[in-house]
Amino acid sequence: MEFFPASFSIFYQFGNAFAFLVISCAGLAVIFGMMGIINLAHGEFIMCGAYVTASTARAGLPLPLAILCGTLTAALVGMVLERTIIRHLYHRPLDSIIATWGISLIATQAVLILLGPTMSGTGTPLGSMEVGERSYSIYRLALFASAVGLLGGLYLLFYRTRFGVIARATIQRPEMARALGVDTRRVYGLTFGLGAGLAGLAGGLYAPTMTMVPTMGATFIVESFVTVVVGGADIFVGAAPAAAILAVIKAALTAWYGQLFGQIGLLVAVIVVIRVMPGGLSAFIKRWQR
């Protein structure tokens, strides 16, 4: 009888780490993997989604609708920034890094000045469940289900819809898509807005579990970049296995040695992958499939 609580605890820790990695990296993977833009303002889009979610939830909106508001707000902000700044920096990766870093600093300081150093959260919903002698948050299990659903939804969007076909064609062969009458600027704007919206979704989903501070995006961005680098350029092939492998490493090291060693394990893993597989897991998987 003691085997089931121990097994559930391992699964719970793995699911928690997997959900965090997938949800936090999805928006970054879309923008970097499909558009080649290294978005250092990713954490601030997450912060935007979290703040809007917390504000609207405290105003009386149900949490799912509050999360939707946070997602749409981040997507709208992303589309405005793409139109005014990012659009002029395509094929200029170093300039895009500096520009998004500047946006990150401006956003963090603006929120600090306007809203203060902290903001009241919403509290974790759904309560908890008892397994053996331990208590587990049901909302964390819902986050795991959300991560799996998010991966499935992105696959369907980019491989089973007209927008997905046009977006992939535009990003892979922009000149050909333009010659066929596709408004490539509009596609770029929508794709960047989608990535920003996914970041806002991450902030909205994790808003009930975190303290609202202007620098909260930093909690997500390191692990987001690690997951994207390990997964490689093709987010649909590499993201899920990368998140699963890193989740096992993080959960195991955190359980045995503490959270600090879990973070160190992720960084060591990305160093090994860059050395052995410079193209990430997606390049290795595609080469193996051939």
pLDDT the model gives residue 4: 55
Residues 32-45 as b/e (b if ≥16 CB within 10 A, e otherwise) read bbbbebbbbbbbbb
With beta carbons less than 8 A apart as the criterion, state whether 228 and 54 touch. Answer: no
Low-confidence ranges of the chain (pLDDT < 50): 1-3
pLDDT the model gives residue 6: 64
pLDDT the model gives residue 143: 92
pTM value is 0.90
State the burial class of residue 7 (Cβ atoms within 10 Å of its Cβ: 0-12, 13-18, 19+). Answer: exposed
pLDDT the model gives residue 196: 94
With beta carbons less than 8 A apart as the criterion, state whether 15 and 257 touch. Answer: no
